[in-house]
Amino acid sequence: MVFNIGGVRRIVITIILFVLAITILLNFIPIKFAIKLEDAQQKLEAGRYICVADYKSKVAYQSEWFASTRFNSHLEGWLVLRLTGNSPNRYLSEKDFESFEVDNKFLLNGNVERIEKITPEVLDTHLNVDDWEIVYPIERASFRKHFTPRSYLNIYDYDMIKLIRSLW
């Protein structure tokens, strides 16, 4: 039995190129589109907040989710949000979205379960999130920020282990 080394090498290179092409193409298939800030601000009411995930402030407030009057005209002060339910933390990759380098904005829709005053300007709020949207532009912390479109989330933005656990 004689093996054709050149043929085997050609098949291996073809398979490697095919897998590489699929891996790159998946980066350009949208899973969830971002909404514009102006559109998100038109949807605001009680239980709907545009929040910034600010990991720099997590040390002071034990939460990374904040809603300010800058983006939420219906608020009178800052909200420190404690999220339960269907929050973005349940789905998104920690590598890209739980970083000190990025401050993405999210429109969170849900029910306010409890509010406590921390200071005269800051309220501690527990929000049970029903659904969420990410606001354009999407910032990422990994090397993909240089070539991934900022208008949508793709399969690599999600943490597959978290997704599988959420299905159980």
Domain ranges in the chain are: 31-167
Query: For residue 59, what pLDDT is reported?
Result: 61
Query: For residue 2, what pLDDT is reported?
Result: 56
The mean pLDDT of the chain is: 85
**pTM assigned to the model:** 0.83
- Among 166, 34, 19, smallest CA distance to 97 is for 34
Strands 122-134 and 152-154, bridge-based pairing: unpaired
Query: For residue 55, what pLDDT is reported?
Result: 66
Rounded CA gap, 121 and 162, in Å?
35
76-96: per-residue pLDDT in tens?
888 888 889 998 988 888 888
- Among 17, 29, 52, smallest CA distance to 157 is for 29
Q: Is the model's pLDDT at 97 over the cut of 70?
A: yes
3-state secondary structure of 29: coil
> Once rounded to an integer, what is the mean pLDDT over residues 139-161?
91
Q: Is the model's pLDDT at 57 over the cut of 70?
A: no
